[in-house]
Amino acid sequence: MRKPIMAGNWKMNCDNDEAQALADGVLARAGQVEDATVILCPPATALTTVHAAIANSNIKLGGQNLFWEEAGAFTGEISAKMLLACGCEYVIIGHSERRGRFGTVDEADAEDLAAIFSDTDATVNRKVRAALAAGLRPIVCCGELLSERQAGKTDGVVAAQVRAMLDGIDDEGVANMVIAYEPVWAIGTGEVCDADEAGRVCGMIRDVVEQACGPELAEDMQILYGGSVKPDNVEGLMAMTDIDGGLVGGASLKADSFGALIEAAVASVR
């Protein structure tokens, strides 16, 4: 049975004091949970603070992004080695916001945003390779815009992103990856992809992994749903066969709501 994951993506929230308080709150709710993997992904400035807060607990630490080079003249970037030095075991790669694809921004601005944030299928693959080579477990994101869903392109867009992230990754690497399906139109908007549809797309993702990597790796792949996951919809999402947890944004910024999601993940395997 695949172990469920609840990963909290704090995005650009929490200074060090706020990060300390939030980590302490999650620690009190779920510090010794064993039946689910709990991951906190604070902004880079708070990584060491959160790492110290969760020491001697079962909670894992993750970064929100990395660059594929080990070092160099890449102002503002962070390397796998730097994340490891902060205590990270996981890193989010290819989040829609890093691709310049936002659920709450007019799509007319998409070209400008893509130029600013710049992640593409090709750079996502390079980042996955760098993370795996360094010993980090990447949580690699995929998902469609509202316009792509309305045009009936969901499966094609998501499948292409999954094939690109897997390109050239050996079996050991695939075994250490986590995939997160995050319909862009449901991120930060309050909208949620209904459980049946989220489960269907996650099942399609597993089929793509099977086609690329074989049935055993596909069966073991942990696939998360991300997109306005909340305590009032998590039970239905976790009931889906191909959903193994959540990549959580807003609800991870309050210890009580994130704790409820963790409890739902634990309950899903009992």
Residues 6+ apart with CB under 8 A from 222: 2, 3, 4, 5, 178, 179, 244, 245
Q: Cα–Cα distance between 220 and 16 in angstroms, integer?
A: 36
Q: Per-residue DSSP letters for 178-203?
A: EEEE--GGGSSSS----HHHHHHHHH
Angstrom distances, CA of residue 247 to CA of 21, 75, 113: 21, 28, 22
Contacts of 181 (CB under 8 A, 6+ apart): 141, 142, 143, 158, 198, 201, 202, 205, 223, 224, 225, 226
Closest CA to 47 of 94, 79, 3: 79
51 as an active site residue: the answer is no
Environment class of 128 (CB within 10 Å of its CB; exposed 0-12, middle 13-18, buried 19+)? buried
The active-site residue, picked from 97, 144, 148, 182, is 182
User: Which residue among the candidates 95, 97, 144, 148 is catalytic per the annotation?
Assistant: 95
Would you state the structure tokens that stand for residue 81, as one six-digit string?
A: 């080695």
Active-site residue set: 95, 182
